[in-house]
Amino acid sequence: MESESKTQNGDLSIYIHWPFCKSKCPYCDFMSISKNSSEEFDEVEILLLKDLETSLQELDVSSIRTIFFGGGTPSLMNAKTISKILNFITKNYKTNSNIEISLEANPATFSKEKLKEIKEVGVNRLSLGIQSFQDKDLKFLGRIYNSEQALKAAEMVTNIFSNYSFDFIYGYQSQSIDDLKNNLLMAVNFGCPHISCYQLTFEEGTPFFRLLQNGKIRQLTEAQEIEFFRYIQDFLERFSFNRYEISNYALKNFESKHNLAYWRYQNYLGVGPSAHSRLVFNNQKYELKKFSDIDKWKSSLYRNLSTYEYRNILMDYEQLEEIFVMGLRLSEGISIKSLKSRFSNDILDPILKRIDLLSKENLFKKSESQIKLSENGMLKQDSVVEFLFN
């Protein structure tokens, strides 16, 4: 892109996608390959750095707000790779004084020493994908570790990091409310300051999706979904956790700043195969996605071609819809003032009228300044957004 088309992206969040896992979990549709070869890791290290450098060159950025290593399984990355990426960013860009640098970790992919190295090179928040502390659940979810290893990993993380999250998957027929309670209690007893509870979803193309279609596993009923959702909230609220997003709970000041950037519709750059971005060029907001096919991503970098699979301008109406899809997930909701400063009345008024209609049905809580879903509305978020924008 020419220099005159550079546009201010303000504070930027950066997502780095590490595309390897030890093995593929049967419910997962993220881009990841089961590989563990040092040659491949070294090659991807060089290419990630190149992708990062060339992608950032296009942007005029005032400072870096957050960095997130996701994947895949970024706890498989060599600490030197993480260090090189962070050094590149901090040497060439201004970073916020309280920058959050997160890394997702899978139990059984790190030792105490490795975890210490990860911290020493600059990672200051760890997101541990435990999923469950119970053997039967881990087996069902196709995880590569048992409850003993999950416990050991949790202990290591709590001893080394002060800012961390335990991530759980819930909501399958073999899991009872008591099983869920034991997981949450374990996290609370560890003193964990942030807990994510994601309901199991059945994504097309995954082995779990096929099992669901063949009737080998069943989804929760709507009533069960509500029961689990309410149970998590009531349980964690008793321990001072605030549900700041549909699936995320935090003690005060431990919210994930990086994920808040997505939900608040701030600009972010995604680097690595399949990574998404929302960026501004020439005063226009774009949705961008890197090649999901790792060979295409690699060859475009070797040939100095664009690494983007697509790069589309988002029209005002599309941006408004994205703001609602993301912002209604948050308990804080969406600021009416910022909507009014960004969108014309022609676009905004019909949506606000529909919100008034839904408020009468108790799905929204609208104040002078914010639009938020009620608890009832949170449980029906997808159909609410569909009603607003169709």
DSSP state of 16: E
What residues contact 286, with CB distance under 8 A and at least 6 apart? 277, 278, 279, 280, 311, 312, 313, 314
Please report how close the Cβ of residue 75 comes to ligand SF4 at its closest, in angstroms. Answer: 10
- Would you list the DSSP string of 116-128? HHHHHTT--EEEE
Residue 68's identity, in one-letter code, is F
- Under the binding rule (CB under 6 A), the answer on residue 30 touching ligand SF4 is yes
Please report how close the Cβ of residue 297 comes to ligand SF4 at its closest, in angstroms. Answer: 17
Structure tokens at 86: 């962070």
The dihedral region occupied by 343, where left means phi > 0, alpha psi between -120 and 50, and beta the remainder, is: beta
DSSP state of 376: H
Please report how close the Cβ of residue 149 comes to ligand SF4 at its closest, in angstroms. Answer: 14
How many other β-carbons are positioned within 10 Å of the β-carbon of residue 213? 11
Q: d(Cα 25, Cα 146) in Å, to the nearest integer?
A: 14
- Bridge-partner residues for 268, per DSSP? 13, 278
3-state SS class at 21: strand
Q: d(Cα 356, Cα 377) in Å, to the nearest integer?
A: 13
Structure tokens at 101: 């640098």
Which span (22-30, 132-140, 244-252, 374-382) binds ligand SF4, by CB under 6 A?
Answer: 22-30
- Under the binding rule (CB under 6 A), the answer on residue 24 touching ligand SF4 is yes
Which span (18-26, 170-178, 242-250, 343-351) binds ligand SF4, by CB under 6 A?
Answer: 18-26
Which span (45-53, 71-79, 145-153, 335-343) binds ligand SF4, by CB under 6 A?
Answer: 71-79
- Under the binding rule (CB under 6 A), the answer on residue 300 touching ligand SF4 is no
Query: Which of 13, 66, 106, 307 is in the footprint of ligand SF4 by CB under 6 A?
Result: 106
Comparison of 20 and 254: residue with beta carbon closer to ligand SF4: 20
* Total residues at interface with ligand SF4 (CB under 6 A): 10
DSSP state of 155: H
- Under the binding rule (CB under 6 A), the answer on residue 73 touching ligand SF4 is yes
Please report how close the Cβ of residue 88 comes to ligand SF4 at its closest, in angstroms. Answer: 24
Which span (6-14, 21-29, 75-83, 176-184) binds ligand SF4, by CB under 6 A?
Answer: 21-29
- Under the binding rule (CB under 6 A), the answer on residue 32 touching ligand SF4 is yes
Query: Which of 28, 177, 220, 336 is in the footprint of ligand SF4 by CB under 6 A?
Result: 28
CB 291 within 8 A of CB 99: no
Query: Which of 9, 15, 47, 72 is in the footprint of ligand SF4 by CB under 6 A?
Result: 72
- Under the binding rule (CB under 6 A), the answer on residue 71 touching ligand SF4 is yes
Distances (CA, A) of 49 to 63, 265, 294: 18, 26, 15
Please report how close the Cβ of residue 381 comes to ligand SF4 at its closest, in angstroms. Answer: 23
- Under the binding rule (CB under 6 A), the answer on residue 21 touching ligand SF4 is yes
CB 179 within 8 A of CB 135: no
Comparison of 71 and 171: residue with beta carbon closer to ligand SF4: 71
**In the window 129-168, what residues touch ligand SF4 (CB under 6 A)?**
none
Please report how close the Cβ of residue 137 comes to ligand SF4 at its closest, in angstroms. Answer: 14
Comparison of 204 and 368: residue with beta carbon closer to ligand SF4: 204
- Would you list the DSSP string of 225-288? HHHHHHHHHHHHHHTT-EEEETTEEESTT-S-HHHHHHHTT--EEEESTT-EEEEEETTEEEEE
Phi, psi of 251 (to 5 degrees): -75, 165
- Under the binding rule (CB under 6 A), the answer on residue 25 touching ligand SF4 is yes
Comparison of 30 and 190: residue with beta carbon closer to ligand SF4: 30
Structural element, H or E, at residue 211: helix 207-213
Phi, psi of 35 (to 5 degrees): -150, 150
Which span (68-76, 196-204, 206-214, 283-291) binds ligand SF4, by CB under 6 A?
Answer: 68-76
Please report how close the Cβ of residue 107 comes to ligand SF4 at its closest, in angstroms. Answer: 10
Please report how close the Cβ of residue 294 comes to ligand SF4 at its closest, in angstroms. Answer: 14
Comparison of 56 and 156: residue with beta carbon closer to ligand SF4: 156
Compute the residue count for the chain: 390
Comparison of 144 and 160: residue with beta carbon closer to ligand SF4: 144
Sites of contact with ligand SF4 (CB under 6 A) = 21, 24-25, 28, 30, 32, 71-73, 106
